[in-house]
Amino acid sequence: MNETLLKQYADFAVRVGLAPREGQTVLISAPVEAADFARLCAASAYDAGAREVVMKYSDERFARLRLERTDLATLEAVPPHVERSYLDYVERDGGACILHIIAEDPEIFRGLDGDKVQRASSARRKALARWRELTMKDRVQWSIVAIPSEAWAKKVFPGCEDAVEKLWQAIFAACRVREGGDVVAAWREHLDATEARRDRLNALGVDSLRLTSANGTDLVIGLADGAVWEGARSRTPEGTAFVANIPTEEVFTAPHRLRVDGVVHATKPYVYNGDLIDNFWVKFENGLVTDFGAQTGEDLLRRMLETDDGAKRIGEIALVPASSPINQSGVLFYNTLFDENAACHIAFGDGYPGTVSGGTELSADELLARGVNSSLIHEDVMVGAPDMTITARTKDGRDVTVFANGEWAL
């Protein structure tokens, strides 16, 4: 592996993605397979002025073993120290931010008791509720980057002897990391262009969107009260800009939880709880899922939708053009971080408070009253197609074409 590109990737992930402030603690969450890359990120964080770097390693093969061999009551009894291991650093002088490094086998939990996996996952989400609120409201900087693992690479490039190297190259291309290139300059240009599209949508005054494509999708999404479009950079209350997802190609906002009607067909497989859902569709009435089907993983889809009341509604609509470099690569990553940036998508479950005006200062009840959905989950599924048309109905009654044949028309 090209060490120059690795260091460039690590430096960009830390300095632009996470953007730690002088004196902050940097938490790095990484699988054991990513230890070498995690250490590069740690060095970059110290160079950027971090007070301390705290490494939080995980092992997904052990996670599978633990789910197999531990009784459900123990799995659901998540001890308070799990959340405190994050909050203690946030609450100390200087605060904290977190970089997530992922390298997931998309089918790590295949064959396990799906109900057990779901309940254990839900219990952990509940136990981390305060931490999740801090990240969802951008109270702390957070960013996610990926590196290949052998299992993931073999899923993306089956039968390929150099699958890991090929996945590295695909990740570098998607993240604008290239030999002799200036990744920071390339990203600044991209982020500026994305924010310009965001500003045009906000100026339009969108009340609802209609998504149609030849695969049967015909979905009307009304927006939450005071909805605002976001994209590219996020900002903390102190004004620190960070990039939550690397890569990112989307501009997104909050649907109204009661104003979604019609049918939508997924256009890419979705990885949920370590297993696959594929070739699926969902029908909405008054914001609620009333029917669904899937060629693969229908029971898994059902369990996801039954997580809680909010899981049957959507908390995000995101627009991504078919010309996205991730889509143009032709690579199906089996990883939401990448695949959601290859196509327009909706997210079942929780909405981002920042996607309504003043939302990060509102209580949960106030957000719900604005129409922002609430749930333990936030699961992005890809629905964009090359022929998709998206028409916006504005608050003053105009119809404006936003997407034509899968591309920006605005």
Distance CA 220, CA 210 (A): 4
Burial class (CB in 10 A: 0-12, 13-18, 19+), 213: buried
* Domains of the chain, residue spans: 3-174, 205-230+249-408
pTM of the model: 0.89
Q: For position 109, what pLDDT does the model report?
A: 94
Confidence at residue 380, expressed as pLDDT on a 0 to 100 scale = 95
What is the pLDDT at residue 180? 80
Q: What pLDDT shows up at residue 3?
A: 87
pLDDT digits (tens, 9 = 90+) for 100-130: 999 999 999 999 999 999 999 999 999 999 9
Determine the pLDDT at residue 140.
96
Cβ atoms of residues 34 and 56 within 8 Å: no
Residue stretches of the chain with pLDDT short of 50:
none
The pLDDT of residue 101 is 98
Instruction: For the domain covering 3-174, report its CATH number.
Output: 3.40.1830.10
